[in-house]
Chains A and B, each alone.
Chain A
Amino acid sequence: MSASIETKPAAAQGSARMLVAAGIWVLLLLVPLWLPALGGYTDLATRALIYAIAASGLNLVLGYTGGLSFGHAAYFGLGAYGAGLCLIYIAPSLPLAILAGTVLGGIAGILVGPMAMKRKGIYFAMITIAFGQMFYFIAVRWNALTGGEDGLTGFSRVPLHLGGHAIHMGPVRFYYLVLALFAVVMLVLWQILRSPLGHSFVAVRENTTRLRFLGVAVDKQIWVAFAISTFITALAGALNALLTGFASPDNLGWQLSGSFVVICVLGGMRSYWGPFLGAIIFIVAQDYLSSVTQNWMSFIGLIFVLAVLFFPQGLLGFIKGRARS
């Protein structure tokens, strides 16, 4: 959680931004050193990063394009199943599994996008939730392939083969693999958001009508944003399957979809680092709550309610607001 303290000056002074970003990366690189000392474990940090990837992907649609997608767990889950099925049926290769999961979820996103986009606003939200349920029921019912309610098991993190060497993926090494992919995702998102394409996403959120008058094919922009976002979320799902060693229907469920949205809201939907911060808060809270109480679901629900009522701008938005005034 030191990262959250570090971000304060970044919001206050734009010039300190680089320094803080560097600080975050250094802290992330050193996680296996300091996290156990604080009573955490490496897999916890890995999970937080995976959720940060998923939520950052979602945030491209939610925060930047302004589309209320409440079904992103579908692509996360498809990524998980894609990775698992690839390891079981195609080849025991780590990069291939990650790629397979990412592509499976992303293609689903490309297909669902145009159908969901027929409606805007809250109806878009309803349709994305409903499509998420569709994939959930496919996973639950297609027993032979997916393992049904019990989830897909029977695969594990295989060693990574690099130039003839087999690198075994212990928790710490896997953490660094996830961190590297997190860095790639953040870099890609940074490049997209700086590009004309990224500016057009924000323009869709701010003033669709005007964008249309300017001759921009708005629907295509939303589709592109949605597709990119589902690819990123599916990548996170594939990594999650490798982390836990199985893919469960819960990976596709509406509760997880809601969790991704609340992660974005908690951290700050309008902020580049918001989903990352939200993921840390959420994962730490979830880990703690599920260890102390059986009713942790109530408390997660309570986090939803409190976030909406008292923190609609998210933590980063709140800090930025304070810094400005």
Chain B
Amino acid sequence: MYSAFNGLIVGIFYALMALGLSLILGLNGVINFAHGTFMALGGYLAFTIEPYVGFWGSLILAPFGAVVLGLLVERILIRPLYGRDPLFSLLLTFGLAMIMEDLIRTIWGSVGQPFALPNYLNTPLSASLFFLTGYRLVLIAITILVTGALFAVLRYTRIGIRIRAGNADLETISAMGVNIFFLRAANFGIGIFLAGLAGILAAGQLGLSPSIGSSLIMPSFVAIIVGGVGSLIGSVLGGLIIGIASGITAAFFPVAQEVVIYVIMAVVLVLRPRGLLGQEGLFE
């Protein structure tokens, strides 16, 4: 129970990351390998501004810092690559991830940093449920809120509907007069926002280190594949599943806690290649 809950918390980070990656993958057609470093950046920005604006302030402001950089990257580096072989955008974000991780190491140091939480969030709620700190509840609540808001935006707002339509057929909505350059940039920004948010939440839970991003991005890939390519809910579900699986394995067979994630992926690929919620024939 305890380990499953621990896994769920980590799974939340995977899910938030996978959700953003999945959004960018769908509309922008880019595997954003730098997603993890944007996440780390969110965490470090929060770490830097927290003394001035407090935990809640940094939680709101820091993701936007990451988004600003994300939009610059999208505009300058990624936009010229739309419509080219996906190899190139992947390679570019690969290089970007290396540069950003190195920069984070230079600016904030290569040693891990503790991220101070308000005291009232850090104490267990009760003695019998010692693993349930206020922070973990906040974390779950924020994730539900943000995920819910995202799905509401995608479902009901004009830009959300356009994003979904663009996923289905970008050319057609472009011909119908939608500014797809703006749409792709906005979509990229939303994805980075989720990464930045995940970074801050993860910083409070796991602490900060320059490689936090690259250690969380791989499981997020797996989450997308397990959950079903092209399905956003699937990505969230996949993230939670591998998080819980990894948490339980950590309790009983700790050496395999990372490997189990990839074993799950292999099993899913063999038994159900399209993933749990993926649509048949899509993206093949």
Contacts and interface: CB of A to CB of B under 8 A. Distances in A.
A141 B265 contact: no
B88 interface: yes
Interface in B52-107: 77, 80-81, 84, 86-92, 94-99, 101-103, 106
B95 A137 contact: no
A285 to B, nearest CB: 13
Interface stretch (A37-45, A113-121, A229-237): A113-121
B124 interface: no
Contacts of A265: 87, 91
Interface stretch (B8-16, B161-169, B192-200, B217-225): B217-225
A55 to B, nearest CB: 14
Contact of B31 (A118, A122, A255): A122
A122 B225 CA distance: 11
A305 B90 CA distance: 10
B94 A304 contact: yes
A322 B283 CA distance: 36
Interface string A123-138: 1011101110110011
B7 to A, nearest CB: 16
A222 to B, nearest CB: 13
Given A119-B284, A122-B86, A312-B88, A305 B25 contact: no
B259 interface: yes
A133 B91 contact: no
Given A119-B273, A121-B283, A298 B266 contact: no
Nearest to A303: B95
A301 B97 contact: yes
Contacts of A62: 87
Contact of A305 (B95, B103, B106): B95
B225 A123 contact: yes
Contact of B92 (A120, A133, A137, A309): A309
Interface in A149-200: none
Interface string B92-134: 1011111101110010000000000000000000000000000
Residue with the highest number of chain A CB atoms closer than 10 Å, among B81, B262, B273, B283? B262
Nearest to B21: A126
A69 to B, nearest CB: 10
A310 B32 CA distance: 20
B214 A254 contact: yes
A265 B89 CA distance: 13
Given A68-B86, A298-B99, A309-B80, A131 B262 contact: yes
Given A137-B262, A254-B218, A302 B99 contact: yes
Contact of B91 (A115, A130, A295, A304): A304
B251 interface: no
A127 B229 CA distance: 12
A300 B269 contact: no
B225 A130 contact: yes
Contact of A304 (B86, B92, B265): B92
Residue with the highest number of chain B CB atoms closer than 10 Å, among A118, A297, A308? A308
Contacts of A120: 283-284
Contacts of A262: 91, 94-95
B145 interface: no
Contact of A308 (B91, B102, B214, B284): B91
A120 B89 CA distance: 16
Contact of B258 (A137, A303, A307): A137
B100 to A, nearest CB: 8
Contacts of A140: 258
Nearest to A295: B102
B257 to A, nearest CB: 8
Given A127-B225, A308-B91, A301 B258 contact: no
A120 B86 CA distance: 12
Given A121-B86, A312-B84, A305 B255 contact: no
Contact of B259 (A68, A137, A297, A302): A137
20 contacts: A118-B270, A119-B229, A122-B25, A122-B29, A129-B218, A130-B221, A133-B218, A137-B258, A138-B259, A143-B255, A258-B94, A261-B91, A297-B99, A298-B102, A301-B94, A303-B95, A305-B92, A305-B95, A308-B88, A308-B95
Given A70-B90, A262-B91, A304-B96, 17 more contacts: A119-B225, A119-B283, A121-B86, A123-B283, A126-B224, A127-B225, A133-B218, A134-B266, A137-B259, A138-B259, A254-B218, A295-B106, A297-B98, A301-B96, A304-B92, A305-B99, A308-B95
Interface of A: 62, 68, 70, 115-116, 118-123, 125-127, 129-131, 133-134, 137-138, 140-143, 254-255, 258, 261-262, 265, 295, 297-298, 300-305, 307-309, 312
